[in-house]
Structure 1
Amino acid sequence: MTEKDTDQQADYVEPNKAFERDTRYIETRITRDGADGFPVEAGRYRLVVAYACPWANRAIIVRRLLGLEDAISMGVCGPTHDKRSWTFDLDPGEVDPVLGIPRLQDAYFKRFPDYPKGITVPAIVDIPSGAVVTNDFPQITIDFSLEWTDFHRDGAPQLYPEDLRPEIDEVNAVVYKDVNNGVYRCGFAGSQESYEAAYDQLFSRLDWLSDRLANQRYLVGDTITEADVRLFTTLARFDAVYHGHFKCNREKLSEMPVLWAYARDLFQTPGFGDSTNFEQIKAHYYKVHRDVNPSGIVPKGPDLANWHTPHGRDALGGRPFGDGTPPVPLG
């Protein structure tokens, strides 16, 4: 793993201001009809991710649940990066073996030479041209479910079923605002006032989720959906990062009985825990956010063995994969 120089790290906290995420993503889509110029085609595209990033982690999980591994290859960036770009530190020669580039920014600049915004993961790159297609992470996983159906594995679950879409969208919207992005609004707050407002909103929503999940196994319906994937990647990082590093410390996840059992249930489901890398998660947050953690020291804890303890959520019923089947275990 390549260490990035401290003076090459971006600043994430703007003094005296609340954190506001730039959500102006590249909205080009890969669709069956190729309306945006990029038709669904097996082997043409490369999903670039980092296991450290919760937004990218969603795409990793959905790709695996749907069995798209043979249709969409995956490049993995290292957990640390500098202010310029995510980099392919984990590959031989620190170059992606398919795209032939050391930095994800090269794919962005190939399409947009003056690209002014952040170089983010997940991103999908058109292999023939070497140019980025999209980094619109909420749409990427929806399109995996709806546009790539010809390449789903036998037994792939319905993660975005038509009859549940309005409720899934409603849940996703509040979870994104208050939880997925809420932890960042705590961690990157530039004032006490903005931090406390984000903190209160976060834990109010976690209490709401605990109530919702007390008597139902999954967030929407009786199977795993897109909503569960989106919540899981934040919960997985809660005790390891957000509780201390981002000051989300009213309670640990492991002290919230319903959400802790729910998170363990998903973690122990094929596709979730085997797509989660706690070491890379910790390395990213504690080494990259130097204005939050100037020393760059990565904590040894927490003990992760408890993720494998019984959760008891199956007593609530539900069928994780509906009429489908789990993905084949890795390795």
Structure 2
Amino acid sequence: MGQLVNGVWDPAWYDTASTGGRFERTVTKFRNWITPDGAPGASGDGGFRAEAGRYHLYVSYACPWAHRTLIFRALKGLDGLIDVSAVHPDMLEDGWTFDTGFPGATGDRQFDAPFLRDIYTRAVSDVSGRVTVPVLWDKQSGRIVSNESAEIIRMFNSAFDGLTGNDLDFWPEALRADIEEVNRRVYRGFNNGVYRAGFATSQSAYDEAVREVFETMDWLETHLSQEPFLVGGRVTEADWRLFTTLVRFDPVYHLHFKCNRNRLVDFPNLWAYTRALYQVPGVADTVRMDHIVRHYHYSHDTINPSRIIPINPRLDFLAPHDRGNPRL
């Protein structure tokens, strides 16, 4: 992963020796908000008004956090308003790069920079912190609006509605408390749980994390045997936050991160639910399994030092399901 320290690149991996073998995710640094009129949002500075063509999104197709933003960009009709640069799937000693030597890797469409870290230092020359995706860039001010995916998807959910006329709402006010409760449980036990298992460097840290992964999957399987979606009988933000981890589970987390008590396809309700979300128009185009498989198995030499890319299971995300037509 690597990080910047006062604007200088440090390729060091996460320090799990100091945490008893536990992986601890760092907090994102840039927390401003795009709003319809440019007023300040929930955190950070104001001045980021929703405007067509003003913002640029940096993503990795491999990353589940960045994937969330691509899904919201597609479903909310923002493709023509917010352009995108996609990094190369290999994340080695230089972190994310804009090498174009892999299908779908676009290079940096803004500045032709070689590395994602150059976008961070362009915004703040002496910045310190992990260099992660997604990054939402403001062309007008030359600043990073946000690198927090959970907040970017909420901006995409509503800030541009006056420009697009797209009033799909994945964060409806009446369901927010329930969505937040589900998000907390899914994030701890599953979204981040698979990383806590995969990046653990002690048996106890792994045991703790992998137990929570499957406790969460068992809970989700039971819940989805009674309800079509996570909250309110309709598709919400909570479903898309879960989906990007589910779609990676069998190709990556089951094998590479040692979350191998069960596969996703062993959970009938979770597997049908994943297919239902995948089949929502516009979503499949955001899933680049070639980037996903390549990134994880090739980049993490502490887990897979030989960098052999596995054959992987054949998954039919287009198979029929019993969820009906997801109500957006």
Common fold: TM-score over 0.5: yes
- In the TM superposition, residue 160 of structure 1 has moved relative to its aligned partner by 0.8
* 1:66–1:153 Cα contact (<8 Å) kept: no
* 1:43–1:72 Cα contact (<8 Å) kept: yes
Cα distance in 2 between the residues matched to 1:19 and 1:42: 39
The answer to whether structure 1 residue 74 and structure 2 residue 78 are counterparts is no
Q: CA RMSD in A?
A: 2.1
* 2:28–2:147 Cα contact (<8 Å) kept: no
CA change 1:169–1:294 in 2 (3 A) is: same
Name the SS of the counterpart of 1:219 in structure 2: coil
Name the SS of the counterpart of 1:75 in structure 2: strand
- In the TM superposition, residue 47 of structure 1 has moved relative to its aligned partner by 0.7
Task: Structure 2 unaligned segments of length 5 or more: list them.
Answer: 1-9, 41-45
Amino acid at match of 2:225: A
- Between stretches 50-59 and 131-140, larger displacement belongs to 131-140
Tell me the alpha carbon deviations over residues 69-123 of structure 1, each in whole angstroms, 9 at most, x when there is no partner. 1111111111112344322223899742333322221121012112111111110
Cα distance in 1 between the residues matched to 2:237 and 2:28: 22
Aligned to 1:119: 131
Cα distance in 1 between the residues matched to 2:22 and 2:78: 38
Q: Give the 5 Å matches for 1:10-159.
A: 10-12=12-14, 14-15=16-17, 16-34=20-38, 35=40, 36-90=46-100, 95-154=107-166, 156-159=167-170
Tell me which of 319, 322, 327 is aligned to 1:320: 327
Tell me the alpha carbon deviations over residues 112-156 of structure 1, each in whole angstroms, 9 at most, x when there is no partner. 1121111111101122454322101110001111222213354x5
* 1:185–1:198 Cα contact (<8 Å) kept: yes
Name the SS of the counterpart of 2:303 in structure 1: coil
> Number of matched residues?
309
* 2:61–2:67 Cα contact (<8 Å) kept: yes
Cα distance in 2 between the residues matched to 1:87 and 1:131: 19
Cα distance in 1 between the residues matched to 2:107 and 2:191: 31
- In the TM superposition, residue 237 of structure 1 has moved relative to its aligned partner by 0.4
Name the SS of the counterpart of 1:309 in structure 2: coil
Percent identity, aligned pairs only? 42
The answer to whether structure 1 residue 181 and structure 2 residue 198 are counterparts is no
Q: Give the 5 Å matches for 1:154-169.
A: 154=166, 156-169=167-180
Name the SS of the counterpart of 1:121 in structure 2: coil
- In the TM superposition, residue 268 of structure 1 has moved relative to its aligned partner by 1.5
Tell me the alpha carbon deviations over residues 20-64 of structure 1, each in whole angstroms, 9 at most, x when there is no partner. 100233112222232323222211110111110000000000110
Aligned to 1:281: 292
Cα distance in 1 between the residues matched to 2:253 and 2:108: 30
Cα distance in 1 between the residues matched to 2:109 and 2:84: 11
- In the TM superposition, residue 211 of structure 1 has moved relative to its aligned partner by 1.1
TM-score with structure 1 length normalisation? 0.88
The answer to whether structure 1 residue 219 and structure 2 residue 230 are counterparts is yes
Task: Structure 1 unaligned segments of length 5 or more: list them.
Answer: 1-7, 322-331
CA change 1:275–1:95 in 2 (3 A) is: closer
Name the SS of the counterpart of 1:233 in structure 2: helix
Cα distance in 2 between the residues matched to 1:13 and 1:282: 25
Tell me the alpha carbon deviations over residues 267-297 of structure 1, each in whole angstroms, 9 at most, x when there is no partner. 1111322211111001110111110110111
Aligned to 2:7: none
CA change 1:26–1:12 in 2 (3 A) is: same
Amino acid at match of 1:249: N
Aligned to 1:4: none
Aligned to 1:302: 313
Cα distance in 2 between the residues matched to 1:233 and 1:94: 21
* 1:217–1:262 Cα contact (<8 Å) kept: yes
Aligned to 1:172: 183
Name the SS of the counterpart of 1:46 in structure 2: strand
- Between stretches 72-81 and 127-136, larger displacement belongs to 127-136
CA change 1:26–1:212 in 2 (3 A) is: same
Amino acid at match of 2:119: A
Higher relative contact order (CA 8 A, sep 6+): 1
Cα distance in 1 between the residues matched to 2:206 and 2:11: 22
Name the SS of the counterpart of 2:242 in structure 1: helix
Cα distance in 2 between the residues matched to 1:80 and 1:130: 27
Cα distance in 1 between the residues matched to 2:91 and 2:140: 26
Cα distance in 2 between the residues matched to 1:53 and 1:24: 15
Q: Give the 5 Å matches for 1:189-200.
A: 189-200=200-211
Amino acid at match of 1:80: D
* 1:26–1:136 Cα contact (<8 Å) kept: yes
* 1:68–1:151 Cα contact (<8 Å) kept: no
